[in-house]
Amino acid sequence: MNQYNYEEIDIIKTAVNPFYRIMKIHLYLIDGLLIDTGPRIRKFNLIRAFRSKDIRQVAVTHSHDDHAGMAHWISEHFSADIYCHEKALPSLNKSALSPWYRRLFSSRHININVKSYPDIIRTPEHEFLPIATPGHTSNHVCLLEPDKGWLFSGDLYITPYPKVFLKHESINDYIESLNKLMSYNFDILFCAHEGVIHDGKEMLKRKLDYLLNIRRDVTELHQAGFTDREIKKRLFPDKVRLELMSFGLFSRLNMIRSCYRE
Ligand SMILES: [Zn+2]
């Protein structure tokens, strides 16, 4: 666990998983607004960090546990409004069901205070515009601070040149979301896994161009009758570390199939 600042932003950085320390998650706290909450598996470290903070609002970029996992704990210990995309509401509320041993003594479900995003999130010094940006998940949201040119990009960016996807990631949605973001002004990305990225808009443009090329190449080969495995051999011949480390949860074949699935 490591904490530092970027201008007035408090950044909490921790390994996503204690057994796989290479992948980090960054939580951003500005003016009482916490962007993403961290994974439940890091609970003890995160609670130690949260206790000294003044958390008044929480923006969850999407429903994966490394982003939404601590929302429940925060709702029990802070009187904070917690926001997520309306499509993420069922999964955030489900994770808030009280554990079985508490239900023995009370029929009450823990009331997690999650709401769908308002048009604008206001803090004393800033305004944040939630922008629906599906691709990584269908319930993904980025937050733009237009005066500062800051974009809190959740898991939309991570790398401009991805070679592996989760099963439900959608290349078409990524392309549409990236196109949409090109119409906004921003300069710095606050990526949940990679931290602060300068020239953020340029980096997202690179990702957009790359994905357009990949989609075109895969679609052409698919229409010419190549199998997914043949396409993989041609376009992504090298082994990908994340694919090995995730036991295929992230895979090149998922990415290839997403190009012609929809
Ligand atoms: Zn994610």
- Complete DSSP assignment for 135-171: SSSTT-EEEEETTTTEEEEETS-S-SS---B-TT--H
Structure confidence at residue 113 as a pLDDT band (50, 70, 90): confident
Q: How many CA atoms lie within 13 A of 245 on its CB side?
A: 10
CA of 101 to the centre of ligand 1 (A): 30
pLDDT of amino acid 20: 75
Mean pLDDT over the full length of the chain: 93
Measured in Å, residue 122 CA sits from the centre of ligand 1 at 25
Query: What distance in angstroms lies between residue 62's CA and the mean position of ligand 1's atoms?
Result: 7
Q: Report whether CATH 1.10.3720.10 matches the domain 1-125.
A: no
Ligand 1 centroid to 134 CA: how many Å? 11
Average pLDDT in the 16-22 region?
Answer: 81
- Give the Å distance between the CA of 180 and the centre of ligand 1: 20
213 against 106, higher pLDDT: 213
Query: Alpha-carbon distance 253 to 237, whole Å?
Result: 12
Could you give phi then psi for residue 11, rounded to 5 degrees? -115, 125
Q: How far is the CA of 158 from the centre of ligand 1 (A)?
A: 10
Range name among 14-18, 90-94, 106-110, 164-168 with the lowest pLDDT average: 106-110
* 204 neighbors 189 (Cβ within 8 angstroms): yes
Rounded Cα–Cα distance for residues 19 and 60 (Å): 24
> In the predicted model, what is the mean pLDDT of residues 221-225?
98
Ligand 1 geometric centre to CA of 225 (Å): 33
Question: Ligand 1: distance of its center to the CA of 155 in Å?
Answer: 5
Per-residue DSSP letter, 202: H
Among 87-91, 128-132, 162-166, 233-237, where is mean pLDDT lowest?
87-91
pLDDT at 99 over 60: no
pLDDT of residue 100: 53
CB 249 within 8 A of CB 233: no
pLDDT score at 111: 57
Residue 219 has pLDDT above 80, yes or no: yes
With CA atoms as reference, report the closest residue to 11 among 197, 203, 142: 197
Q: How many CB atoms lie within 10 A of CB 48?
A: 10
Report how far residue 119's alpha carbon sits from residue 123's, in angstroms, rounded to the nearest whole number: 13
| Confidence label for 163 from pLDDT (cuts 50, 70 and 90) | very high
